[in-house]
Chains A and B, each alone.
Chain A
Amino acid sequence: MKWETVIGLEVHVQLRTKSKLFSGAAIAFGAEPNTQACEVDIALPGVLPVMNRNAAYMAVKLGLAIGATINKQSVFARKNYFYPDLPKGYQISQYEIPIVERGKLEIEVDGEKKTIAITRAHLEEDAGKSLHEEFSNNTGIDLNRAGTPLVEVVSEPDMRSPAEAVAYLKKLHALVRYLDICDGNMQEGSFRCDANISMRPKGQEELGTRAEIKNINSFRFVEKAIEYEIERQIDVLEGGGEVAQETRLYDAVKNETRSMRSKEEAHDYRYFPDPDLPPLTLDEEFIQSAKDSLPELPAAKRQRFMDHYSLSDYDAGVLTTSRELADYYETVATHANDAKLAANWVNGELAAYLNKEGLEIDQAPITAKQLGGLVKRIADNTISGKIAKDIFEAMWAGEGDADSIIDSKGLKQISDSGALEKIVDEVISANPGQVEQYKNGETKLIGYFVGQIMKATQGKANPKQVNEILKKKLN
């Protein structure tokens, strides 16, 4: 039987507010345990939550960016369950009426575009952390994270492959970075994903029973976890069994998913509207202000790169995958005076180096201005592309900017036709045999001559000029 995979994702986006969702305590990763938890966060008797409007502002920005409906009235609800790192015994979330509903995100896999519908995005507070390692026979509780604002973005089950799921996640990740509402740090848990996966025979309308894979914290793990889960479910189904509706945990070390709790063990969260918080009311002015604060979004930027810099759809798409990369590219292009060449270098050499060393664009040892300076020297024929690669390597190693390396190493391209003619003459007279063969019709020997000239000039000869002069002299 041919199986079709159905995937829906729930993504927790940690908002970059200064203080918590319902208290004034600060938010910063890595602080000493329980130093960023106030009386509200530790749920002392009698304390009450007060909504951080800035978190709502960020959620509205996200909603607008995914073309969603912004609910002018949304309701906070209590999700009740007991856990030591959940101080109140309930999490304040949004249930029946979330702040954002019905949005969409366009993804692209192997050049094919597809729209993924987003059911809703709601505000909620994070829990604290249970620390099991440091205490023998005991569990430590760190409530620094308790009350940190999250937006949970819930997609429709619209994805059909691990690749689509990863594309969606990357797109959403880029978007929240574009909007500057999340630091996007997946290791620190600022951007976390749960995946709902089910299988159905191809052509069947009805959805199969799904399993939920919890807390997958990298793009690679999402792909692997889903791949594993697909195989597991197909094995179960083809073995005549039924997929259990359950929550599973992905183990990255063993690369497998394991059952965490079954449907029967699922909590009854006893949701009800939080009586401590009136409905969250947003007026037109608030929404308009969020709209006015939106930066240029990826799709618009991509179009502008095509129109303004004459880039291909592909190049523009790659360069706008993140706001940092797009900004980097624009700086390079501005300093280089050649937008297309700038794109080639950013997507080519720079991307290759970053990839090789596992660095993000904001960790690149060459600044955008420096790279612009290098590309500029290619564009104005000061150096050849080949020399440029050596200079790039030197710049990567921290040897300074392009012009100073060109100067100090004497790498300036020889474009003086008098000087070049002299070298060409020398090469011609040193290779009478090859000249003879060339004249007898072996014109591909032109490459040999160019090579000799480059060797003689340590690669500094302007290749275009060399070609012209050679042809003139040999013909």
Chain B
Amino acid sequence: MHRKTIVELQAALEAGQISSVELTQAFLDRIDHHQDLNAFITITAEAALEQARASDDRRDHEAPRPLEGIPIAHKDIFCTQGLITSCGSRMLANFVSPYDATVIQHFKAAGAIILGKTNMDEFAMGSSNETSFYGPVKNPWANQAVPGGSSGGSAAAVAAQLAPAATGTDTGGSIRQPAALCGITGLKPTYGRVSRYGMVAFASSLDQAGPMTHTAADAALLLNIMAGFDPKDSTSVDKPVPDYTATLNDGLKGLRVGLPKEYFGDGLAADVAQAIDASVETLKKLGANIVDISLPNSTLAVPCYYVLAPAEASSNLSRFDGVRYGYRAADYDDLNDMYRKTRSQGFGEEVKRRIMIGAYTLSAGYYDAYYLKAQQLRRLIADDFHTAFGQCDVILGPTTPTTAFDLGAKTDDPVSMYLNDIYTIPANLAGLPGMSIPAGLGEDGRPIGLQLIGNAFEEARLLNVAHQYQQATDHHKQTPEGY
């Protein structure tokens, strides 16, 4: 049962082949059995079974809701009422949220069951899940490898089939990169498509929540639930939400697929390049036309991002001051000492590094040279995409330069860690939807991700292309050995 997609599970539940309680118990057993992966921070076994029972009862006399009885794991960045919402940090390790994020409300209203909260890089800052206060997550494909980050727990949980699907968030690649490294499907929607209310903020102008699933069809189902205008989020966009499942089966004939030359240059591993080339051939066979394009400013995306994201983070994380909730240092002399000790002890190294960078780039005398310059650059990067979408319908490239690297391989070299997001960051800066889908395995037997980037609010097209690709290939059906 755990190998089934949500589409298949829905059918099984509907046909009465299995109950939500049985399904939920099956996944809880798997979570328990694979605790060594460290994919979960909180497991809500009892509450999940209770929700499942209620769902089964309800199904007896009411039409099932869109995700009736389907167990889902949520990244521990989403505030969930009555549960610890730690964001992977010591700072919030004792924080029980009194409210639900809008995304969580949507899942609850759709009848989904909460299995638990998944591990993540601290405050979503990281590309390997190694910055979590709760320790690193292991990649189910290779236990010495990282699962990617920051949504590493969600990616590993889905890849190891501890949950049929999970939520993630993506600020610079935090859905797509771990999806690629764990061999699953992940979608970062257009900025403003999914409410950020109740999602602990990292970089407000970049953060976006999205689904992490086995298939594009499942991602479409989840996005139907997640997307929509939220009056509580002034940056969410008041635009009708299409049924993302409705166009999955459209043909790809005449689809213009743009290959940005900057995504295929130095630094791209040969096995990844090969897999992407093969994917291009597959899409050609499905009727797509290939167009060579250029995103000249995207090469500057990483430095641009590492000015803007830390700047916003330095301010967003100021509320974690030990005054009202969360961690507070045990001993302190006065107010400033309390702040200093609380934040020194409560935050990990990477978070502190980014707060320092951000505070620096926003400070008087440096603002123009860093923050303002980066904003200008951000506009140029977005303009590149605008030009490119005059020539093509979707942009295709690798999600990451390499397959999953080993735990500890990059922890001493932040810049090399940051460069892992070189292909994912541009879509965040431009606010565009991006997807990663499995495209085979590398020489080391670890998954390779194929990235698709769409124009604003064209998630339906991305899902359509991904679904058609998944109809023609079986990369997404491969499972790590032992799971």
Contact = CB atoms under 8 A, between A and B. Distances in A.
Interface of A: 39, 42-51, 78, 80, 82, 84, 87-90, 139, 141, 268, 270-272, 275-278
B311 interface: yes
A51 B235 CA distance: 11
Given A78-B315, A82-B321, A276-B201, 16 more contacts: A45-B79, A45-B201, A46-B197, A48-B196, A48-B234, A84-B321, A87-B319, A89-B318, A90-B318, A141-B324, A270-B362, A272-B315, A272-B367, A276-B204, A277-B235, A278-B235
Interface in B301-359: 311-312, 314-315, 317-321, 323-325, 335, 339, 359
B344 to A, nearest CB: 14
6 contacts: A43-B324, A48-B232, A87-B323, A141-B324, A276-B201, A277-B235
A89 B315 contact: yes
A90 B371 CA distance: 18
Contacts of B99: 39, 44
A80 B362 contact: yes
Interface of B: 78-79, 85, 87, 92, 95, 97-99, 101, 196-201, 203-205, 231-235, 311-312, 314-315, 317-321, 323-325, 335, 339, 359, 362-364, 367, 371
Contacts of B87: 45
B324 A45 contact: no
B371 A43 contact: no
A45 B80 CA distance: 11
B196 A80 contact: no
A276 B236 CA distance: 10
Given A50-B231, A80-B362, A268-B364, A45 B92 contact: yes
Nearest to B201: A46
B315 A46 contact: no
B471 to A, nearest CB: 37
A271 B197 CA distance: 23
A87 B315 contact: no
B195 to A, nearest CB: 9
Nearest to B322: A84
Nearest to B199: A46
Given A270-B363, A278-B235, A47 B197 contact: yes
Contacts of B233: 48, 50
The 4 closest A-B pairs by CB, nearest first: A89-B318, A275-B205, A275-B204, A270-B362
Contacts of B323: 84, 87, 141
Nearest to A24: B232
A45 B95 contact: yes
B335 A84 contact: yes
Nearest to B323: A84
B235 A44 contact: no
Contact of A46 (B200, B234, B359, B371): B200
Contacts of B325: 44
B234 to A, nearest CB: 5
Contacts of B196: 46, 48
Contacts of B92: 45
A77 to B, nearest CB: 10
A348 B101 CA distance: 63
B315 A80 contact: yes
Nearest to A78: B315
Nearest to B318: A89
A43 B326 CA distance: 12
A276 B311 contact: no
A97 to B, nearest CB: 14
B324 A87 contact: yes
A272 B310 CA distance: 13
B318 A88 contact: yes
A76 to B, nearest CB: 10
Contacts of B197: 46-48
A272 B371 contact: yes
Contacts of B78: 46
A50 B367 CA distance: 26
Interface centre among A47, A51, A82, A268 (most CB of B within 10 A): A47
